[in-house]
Amino acid sequence: MKLETLRDLLVEELQDLYDAEHQIIEALPKMKRAAHSDKLKKSFQEHLDVTRQQVSRLEQVFELMDQKPKRKACKAMKGLIKEGEDMIEEEADRDVKDAGLIAAAQRVEHYEIAAYGTAMAYAKQIGLDQAIKLMSQTLEEEKATDEKLSQLAESTINVKAAQ
């Protein structure tokens, strides 16, 4: 389909995000299993729960735009998750592996922060106020998760991994 307007591009961006969030739901349980730190396991579990709500918010945004929710393969997320899986497989000291898992997870959050930021800018241009509200909730969750991972790394995990 030819993209005629910013609205068409927004729909495509949402389909990319919808696929990305689904990939994350599949990946997080593996990240949780591979993590050693209880705090890190808990943080992956919490983000899994939050991500399920993010999927449902995207479905609401599709509905607001009279679109059926559809996944368009997010190749970047596939690559980011593959890097996480490589870290899971890597032979490493447990604290060092935890640090590596955090690094992989933060790359995922940063991709999402960029993508939701763009989608919200398009929604703003088009005047989709309700969609902006929904996506800003998600964006705040992604940012909070990123912050939390930095905090966990810098306060504990990187410290242990350095020894």
Token couple for 67: 């679109």
Query: What minimum distance in Å lies between the beta carbon of 26 and Fe ion?
Result: 13
Query: What minimum distance in Å lies between the beta carbon of 112 and Fe ion?
Result: 5
Query: What minimum distance in Å lies between the beta carbon of 102 and Fe ion?
Result: 13
Q: Which is nearer to Fe ion, 74 or 131 (CB)?
A: 74
Q: Which is nearer to Fe ion, 90 or 140 (CB)?
A: 140
Query: What minimum distance in Å lies between the beta carbon of 120 and Fe ion?
Result: 14
Q: How far apart are CA 83 and CA 76, in angstroms?
A: 11
Token couple for 102: 């955090």
Q: Which is nearer to Fe ion, 6 or 76 (CB)?
A: 76
Q: Residue type at 152?
A: L
Is the CB of residue 141 less than 8 Å from the CB of residue 50? yes
Q: How far apart are CA 69 and CA 157, in angstroms?
A: 38
Note the residues at the interface with Fe ion (CB under 5 A).
16, 51, 54, 74, 76, 112, 142
Q: Which is nearer to Fe ion, 83 or 94 (CB)?
A: 83
Contact residues for 120 (Cβ-Cβ < 8 A; gap 6+): 132, 135, 136, 139
